[in-house]
Amino acid sequence: MKKRFTALSTSILFGVVSAFSLPSATSAETTSLKGVQEERTGIQSEIKKTDQELLQVQVELTKLTEQIQRVDQAIIDNNKMIKDMELKVEASQKEISELEQEINTIQDRINKRNEILKKRALTLQESAGNVKYIDVILGSSSFEDFVGRLQAVAVLVQADQDLVKQYQEDQRAVLAKQASAEKKLKDFKELKTELEGMQEQILQQKEENDALKEQLKKLEQQKLSHKAELHQEEQTLASKEAELNQKVLTDPSDTVPAPSDTPIPTTSNKTINMVLHAGERFIGNSVYVFGGGRNDYDVAQGRFDCSGFVAWAFGEAGIKVGAHTDILKNTGKKVPFSEARPGDLVFFDTYKIDGHVGIYLGGGKFIGSQSRTGIAIADMTKGYYLEKFNGRVMRIIDN
């Protein structure tokens, strides 16, 4: 791009230098101007392509940023779940430890109760001598004594058996709780392991997303830098085009303005009159500037190009039109030149088709911003403008 631009600049410079040595526009200047325009068109196309690529990168960046936010939130949520699971594992381990302690306590009670039973049996034996339970019962002195002894032994044995049975039931219940708690602990540990594995994968995904985002950011910066370079080249070419425009736009030998006393007509339409007379104060007091007439400073200083002047003049009458010949040539209604009337736009093929525009005054005269004179009334019935007039007449005010 830069090599091509350098070569083109050399040809432009040659064309510009030649222009100062000749009394009128040359074919070399026209060729240089066309080369500049083609180069600008190519750069503008590349800018458009770069804009599309940049937009795609930015769309991908937006999507990736949203995904990164989702991943970051998933990491936070997963960390919370892991911490909750750690608390559940800790609680389950504590519950199992307490249940084991409870089981040991119940077993101790059962053991102690068995010792008590043994001691009672010994006490019964001692009270009746070194005899067995049956001897104690059968050694009664009377039937009543026998019944009494029998009931006493039965009550003691039954009570102790019931108590031992209750202890054993409690022990079984605690063992069931312990089994349940151990299952929960196992499940919690497995889930914690699974969560930790998921977290590792999510963190890996985060690293990949961050790396991809960094690549896209670099690509975005490259596209922005390339776009800035293209705009710089395009602006340089625009300046060169403006210089050549002023030399190719008119033939100095044929662009003598109409006499200063040429009257600007007044019609029955107030709006048309405002358009026709808007630039009257700038006649002989203005300058042609490519791109001029589009801000307050240019207007105050009388700096206009042809389309900028037309847009400003219609704006003074409250009518908004485009400030470029490519827009103006399609604005309003096309009419034949035989029907042209004051206020219509007339177009000329100068450095390009419809490259120059003015406001028709009638009688073969038009007012516009000419390259040599600024705002002036020109004659299109002879010389350069007769040769360059292409027959296009556009009517914007239709009454």
User: What does the pLDDT average to over 18-31?
Assistant: 44
Residues 6+ apart with CB under 8 A from 14: 28, 32
| Residue 87 binned pLDDT confidence (cut-offs 50, 70, 90) | confident
Of residues 99 and 4, more confidence is placed in: 99
Of residues 390 and 111, more confidence is placed in: 390
What is the CATH class of 252-395?
alpha beta
Choose the weakest-confidence range: 118-127, 183-192, 253-262, 359-368: 253-262
| Residue 180 binned pLDDT confidence (cut-offs 50, 70, 90) | confident
Query: How many other CB atoms are found less than 10 A from the CB of residue 7?
Result: 11
- The arrangement of secondary structure in 28-246, i.e. its CATH architecture, is Orthogonal Bundle (1.10)
Of residues 345 and 219, more confidence is placed in: 345
User: What does the pLDDT average to over 266-283?
Assistant: 95
Residues 6+ apart with CB under 8 A from 392: 329, 334, 346, 347, 354
User: What does the pLDDT average to over 173-186?
Assistant: 81
For residue 170, pLDDT over 50 is answered with yes
pLDDT given at position 23 = 37
Choose the weakest-confidence range: 68-82, 105-119, 261-275, 359-373: 105-119
Of residues 10 and 187, more confidence is placed in: 187
Query: How does 186-219 read in b/e, with b if 16+ C-beta sit within 10 Å?
Result: eebbeebeebeeebeebeeebeebeeebeebeeb
How many residues are present in the chain? 399
Of residues 24 and 236, more confidence is placed in: 236
Residues 6+ apart with CB under 8 A from 210: 68
pLDDT given at position 312 = 98
Of residues 112, 63, 335, the one with CA closest to residue 213? 63
pLDDT given at position 148 = 63
**Do the beta carbons of residue 40 and residue 234 sit within 8 Å?**
yes
For residue 33, pLDDT over 50 is answered with yes
User: What does the pLDDT average to over 388-398?
Assistant: 95
For residue 12, pLDDT over 60 is answered with no
Question: What would you measure as the largest C-alpha separation in the chain, in angstroms?
Answer: 167
CA dist 394 and 54 (Å) reads 39
pLDDT in tens, 298-316: 999 999 999 999 999 999 9
pLDDT in tens, 280-291: 999 989 998 888
pLDDT given at position 169 = 80
**Sequence ranges of the domains in the chain:** 28-246, 252-395
User: What does the pLDDT average to over 354-379?
Assistant: 93
For residue 137, pLDDT over 60 is answered with no
pTM score of the predicted model: 0.43
Of residues 380, 305, 314, the one with CA closest to residue 346? 380
The DSSP 8-state label assigned to residue 265 in this structure reads: P
Measured CA to CA in angstroms, residue 118 lies from 44, 135, 164, 260, 346 at distances of 109, 17, 13, 144, 132
* Mean pLDDT, the chain, whole residue set: 79
